[in-house]
Homo-oligomer: A and B are copies of this chain.
Amino acid sequence: VSGLQDAVAAVVGASHVLADPGLKAGYEVDWTGRHRGEARFVVRPADTAEVAEVVRLCVREGVPIVPQGGRTSFVGGGVPRGGEVLVSLARLGGVEPVDEAAGQVTAGAGATLADVQAAARSAGLFFPLDFGARDAATVGGVLATNAGGNRAFRHGMARALVAGLEAVLPDGGVVSRLAGLPKDNAGYDLVQLLAGSEGTLGIITRARLRLTTHGASVATALIGLPSTAAAVELSTALQRRLPGLDAAELLYANGLELVCAHERLRPPLPHSHAVYLLAEAAAPEGALEALAEALDGLLPSPEHAVVADDTATRERLWRYREGHTEAVSARWTPLKLDVALPVAGLAAFVEELGRVLTAEAFLWGHAGDGNLHVNVVGLDREQEAGITRAVLELVAAHGGSIGAEHGIGIAKREWLHLTRGPDDLAAMRAVKAALDPAGLMNPGVLL
């Protein structure tokens, strides 16, 4: 085994192999502190060729591998279970110059989401994938988990935004499809198969990403509402009225209060409301007027909304939403269940959820695509198992998804059967066995 470490060090350089417990520690736990495990050692390769060579060495020794991006996953897919070689993609950063003719950009797996967004902006273009962990989440992780976020209801999730990728397969082979051609029907879509496979079919090392344009004028509104049903109705109406609607986020009173306390923010509106919708619209010009006009007649009173296009107010409104994860995690290690429902059935689901949740819970999510983040606090592990089962079974009964945008990872593996049939699961297992017969690539995740 120390032979493997030496061989790996010969490939990447000794300074990029970390075996000291103190140096490894930061890689062995996820952001929430819920998922952790001890890695055999950590390796930080510099490029695709080094990743491939490391994988081949591990395969030769029969040693399992965990690929790691920005450690912002909530389902434990990017940290060790114990005994794996942890392959950090952090050094595969870098964003190439934007290809303006194609409206695409190629980035390394270790580039952050914010890096890609900035590169797009500097070329007058826009990378629409966005969520709170943008400064830490990496291109590789974003694609491996098919991340979603605030704008997915309009622009799609990561899978819709990837035009190509390069990846190291479980046998050390390399697939490189980075041309980004809009039409290229030449065989199975390995790009889409690897995207969302949570590191179980290979290690994504580079990606070709689709960019779009975005209005320079952006306006944001936070609207107080009496119920989930009212928020969904408003979100749906805004989507119809405003082609430039770019976000429709759902907040609840208890979460908003927690964020205000944690970040010492004043409440957004004169009165408290049961539910809040955070809406954002972008347009070439006049987004504020367009958003105000779209809201006209849909609110009982102007006092129920704040609408702004100045940066300071917009950033404050987004803090109410994006502060949720941190505010909850600062006090608890919550049970995080990320689910999606058909939008038309979201309100009914939330109502039934109230009967199932026997402990304090904070809900927030994305009204535009029916994606709800259920955070339950103050449970012991046994209670967590019971609540998990009850919530996910309820989701399945409502025709929803048990892993909307966070994926399955370690956390939900045993529940995959709730929404995937036996033949479907068998097909997924067959694909996994075909590409990773020894089962060494991120074992224990997903399947």
Residues in A lying within 8 Å of B, measured CB to CB: 101-102, 145-146, 148, 152-153, 157, 159-160, 169, 173-177, 179, 181-190, 192-193, 195-197, 201, 236, 340, 342-344, 366, 369-371, 399-408, 416, 419-428, 430-435, 446-447
Contact of A424 among B177, B425, B427 (CB under 8 A): B177
Closest to A184 in B: B401
Q: A405 to B145, alpha carbons, bound, how many Å? A: 28
**Copy total for this chain:** 2
Closest to A418 in B: B186
Q: A28 to B57, alpha carbons, bound, how many Å? A: 50
Q: A345 to B346, alpha carbons, bound, how many Å? A: 48
Contact of A187 among B175, B370, B416 (CB under 8 A): B416
The reply to whether A423 and B201 contact each other, CB–CB distance below 8 Å, is no
Q: If A101-B343, A193-B193, A431-B431 touch, does A185 touch B424 (CB 8 Å cutoff)?
A: no
The reply to whether A435 and B427 contact each other, CB–CB distance below 8 Å, is yes
The reply to whether A183 and B371 contact each other, CB–CB distance below 8 Å, is yes
The reply to whether B428 and A188 contact each other, CB–CB distance below 8 Å, is yes
The reply to whether A435 and B424 contact each other, CB–CB distance below 8 Å, is no
Q: A201 to B420, alpha carbons, bound, how many Å? A: 18
Closest to A148 in B: B183
Which residues of chain B are near A428, meaning CB under 8 Å?
187-188, 190
Given contacts A186-B416, A187-B408, 20 further A-B contacts (CB under 8 A): A101-B344, A102-B342, A102-B343, A157-B185, A174-B423, A175-B421, A175-B423, A175-B424, A181-B369, A181-B400, A181-B401, A183-B369, A184-B404, A185-B401, A186-B401, A188-B201, A189-B196, A190-B428, A192-B192, A431-B431
Contact of A101 among B236, B399, B420 (CB under 8 A): B236
Q: A344 to B399, alpha carbons, bound, how many Å? A: 45
Q: A173 to B426, alpha carbons, bound, how many Å? A: 9
Q: A407 to B405, alpha carbons, bound, how many Å? A: 31
Min distance, Cβ A224 to any Cβ of chain B, angstroms: 24
Min distance, Cβ A151 to any Cβ of chain B, angstroms: 11
Q: A424 to B428, alpha carbons, bound, how many Å? A: 19
Min distance, Cβ A179 to any Cβ of chain B, angstroms: 6
Which residues of chain B are near A187, meaning CB under 8 Å?
196, 408, 416, 420, 424-425, 428, 446-447
Closest to A369 in B: B182
The reply to whether A183 and B236 contact each other, CB–CB distance below 8 Å, is no
Min distance, Cβ A210 to any Cβ of chain B, angstroms: 10
Which residues of chain B are near A153, meaning CB under 8 Å?
182
Closest to A415 in B: B186
Q: A201 to B177, alpha carbons, bound, how many Å? A: 21
Which residues of chain B are near A419, meaning CB under 8 Å?
179, 184, 186
Q: A372 to B342, alpha carbons, bound, how many Å? A: 40
The reply to whether A181 and B342 contact each other, CB–CB distance below 8 Å, is yes
Which residues of chain B are near A422, meaning CB under 8 Å?
173
Min distance, Cβ A391 to any Cβ of chain B, angstroms: 15
Q: If A182-B153, A427-B175 touch, does A193 touch B192 (CB 8 Å cutoff)?
A: yes
Contact of A176 among B182, B405, B421, B434 (CB under 8 A): B421
Contact of A189 among B148, B159, B175, B401 (CB under 8 A): B159
Q: A175 to B184, alpha carbons, bound, how many Å? A: 25
Min distance, Cβ A422 to any Cβ of chain B, angstroms: 8
The reply to whether A424 and B190 contact each other, CB–CB distance below 8 Å, is yes
Closest to A424 in B: B175
Which residues of chain B are near A407, meaning CB under 8 Å?
185-186
Q: A38 to B188, alpha carbons, bound, how many Å? A: 27
A-B contact pairs, 21 of them (CB 8 A): A101-B344, A146-B189, A157-B182, A157-B185, A159-B189, A175-B424, A181-B400, A181-B401, A182-B340, A183-B340, A183-B404, A184-B340, A184-B401, A185-B401, A186-B403, A186-B408, A189-B196, A190-B428, A192-B193, A193-B431, A433-B434
Contact of A430 among B101, B421, B435 (CB under 8 A): B435
Q: A223 to B196, alpha carbons, bound, how many Å? A: 44
Contact of A435 among B101, B370, B425, B431 (CB under 8 A): B431
The reply to whether B344 and A186 contact each other, CB–CB distance below 8 Å, is no
Q: If A188-B431, A189-B195 touch, does A182 touch B152 (CB 8 Å cutoff)?
A: yes
